[in-house]
Amino acid sequence: MSEVNPNMGSIVNCDVLIVGGGFSGMYGLHRLRNLGFNVKVFEAGSDFGGVWHWNRYPGARVDSEWPYYQLSLPEVWKDWNFKERFPDHNEIRSYFFHVAKVLNLRKDVEFDARVNSCEWNSESGRWTVKTEANHVATCKHLFLCAGLLHRRHYPDFPGFQNYRGVVHHSGFWPENLDVTGKKVAVIGAGATAIQIVQELTKVAAKLDNYFRRPSLCLPMAQRPVTEAEQDCMKPYYGVLFKEGRKSAGGYPRPAPEVSIFDVSDEEREQHYENLWKAGSFGFGASNYKEIFFDLKANRLAYDFWAKKTRARISDPKKRDLIAPLEPPYPILTKRCPLEQDYYEMMDKKHVELVDLNATPIETFTEKGIVTTDGVEREYDYVILATGFESFTGSVSQMGLLNKDGRNIKDIWSKEGISTYLGLTVNGFPNCYMVYSPQAPTALSNGPTILECQVDWVVDAIEKLEKEGAKCIEPTKEAQDEWCDMITAMSEKTLFPLTNSWWTGGNIPGKKVQMLTYTNGINQYEPQIRATLKGWEGFDVTKA
């Protein structure tokens, strides 16, 4: 039902309000609606897709291989075929259009509805949610599907306001931008930067890439996939998705059972060669387990990577910058982007690599950038591939207040990020989040982990309603124990040795802490589902 308030616009009353229209929001809407709940969605963009609505920069494509980067719903995949093993952003948006049409989702979604206020009323046991465009909704359950990488990070560069050329952030790319024959600077060396420079280098007259640490990229092994091939595979999709859900990262690719130290050099090299030729994330998912816990084992993996990669770069200076003999950090302890011809492109003569450790940016000028060695480089375009405020950026920017009126942004900035199960937060009743901190999010195939989490949220809401509960929230004690477990889990690995967006270390001033559950989906899902039976770790208030 809706009612009209002249100051606020129409008020939508619903059982569940979902914030976000990407994979998780669409899947959640479909599942909850099928159970008979009145569900509405507020989506900040003008269409479905989540981060893929915004990601339109050159080279943007998924790095999860076909057939796993899609929803496991047979009614969706039975009539859909991808064109490539790793689809690009255009094809992914077409896929979202297909999902929305097949599941008839649009009728329950408000687009261009960026949430800026979420307040809980203890008496009514309901949330009131508002948007910048004056949409208003009240709901019993608030379901945040706002995504992992959405809020763009803009570093505070000296003199940045002086620059008179064109600046674009990778997360907000204009349609039909053409840099052919232009002088371009790309700042950053993460996965997004890799994709951008890989493409812009082919058309720009000059491209300079500013970076502090190189990404240790893995071969994508991109290829077309035909309709015939997919038709032959579809009878196996159910098994593949089920086994992916039982795996650590969403791909049913087992790691060797033997220790890396118990095989010969020849056997290890042959295993690595097989993984290298297969492409995708197999070099991580199917590597020897010790490489994530033991520096000596990790060095063996790095040395193989360096040998394969350095052979592709002829310029000795560039080779030592982006594929050094000594590892800049343990391999696979931060995201290893997938690439197609990145190293060949970086080897081109019109490409310069600017090492910000040796020569930091001193200031921007009207025409370009001056580094501390006194060199000024002029540009037509500056591209900021400077990443995102990962895990927390979207949730912390929507005016989400706890039951005492404290903003989650202030809570997390002062006390550090803290959740229970990576799904709920103490002080926020009937509020759930997915693709979230303190879950296996960053180390997982997106659709796999989000289906795991959405299924928990849907089942929790259904159970609460059947029990006639008014509200639920995690206890502070259970939340503290979950946070301690995440820390203890990560301390057994090499991940804490490397600052990255996996730890919040990419944002100045943000507390550095492990934000990912490192034991994998196959251990995470049974652990969270065990809490449903007796509401372990939760306070439940009866109606």
**Which residue positions in the chain have pLDDT lower than 70?**
1-9, 148-154, 387-393, 500-512
What CA–CA distance (Å, rounded) separates 445 from 280? 12
Cβ partners under 8 Å of residue 290, min gap 6: 259, 260, 261, 297, 298
- 366 vs 214: CA distance, rounded Å: 28
Looking at residue 2, its pLDDT comes to 37
pLDDT at site 356: 96
Q: State CA 12 to chain mean position distance.
A: 30
Q: Which amino acid is at 382?
A: V
What number does CATH give the domain 153-227+241-387? Answer: 3.50.50.60
- Coil/strand/helix, residue 341: coil
Superfamily of domain 2-48+105-151+389-542: FAD/NAD(P)-binding domain (3.50.50.60)
- CA torsion, ordered 443, 444, 445, 446, to nearest 10 deg: -100
DSSP string, 45-70: SSSS-THHHH--STT-B--SPTTTSS
Q: Give the distance from CA 25 to its chain's centroid.
A: 15
**What is the DSSP-derived secondary structure letter of residue 504?**
T
pTM: 0.94
- Check residue 424 and give its pLDDT: 98
pLDDT on residue 152: 61
Residue 221's CB is within 10 A of a number of other CB atoms, namely 16
CATH fold match for the domains 2-48+105-151+389-542 and 153-227+241-387: yes
Question: In sequence order, what are the residues at sequence separation of 6 or more whose Cβ sits closer than 8 angstroms to the Cβ of residue 473?
Answer: 403, 424, 425, 426, 427, 428, 429, 430, 431, 538, 539
Helix axes 446-466, 521-529, angle to 10 degrees: 0
pLDDT of the residue at 428:
98
Domain positions in the chain are 2-48+105-151+389-542, 153-227+241-387
Sign of CA dihedral 487, 491, 495, 497: positive
For residue 449, the 8-state DSSP code is H
Beta carbons of 53 and 45 less than 8 angstroms apart: yes
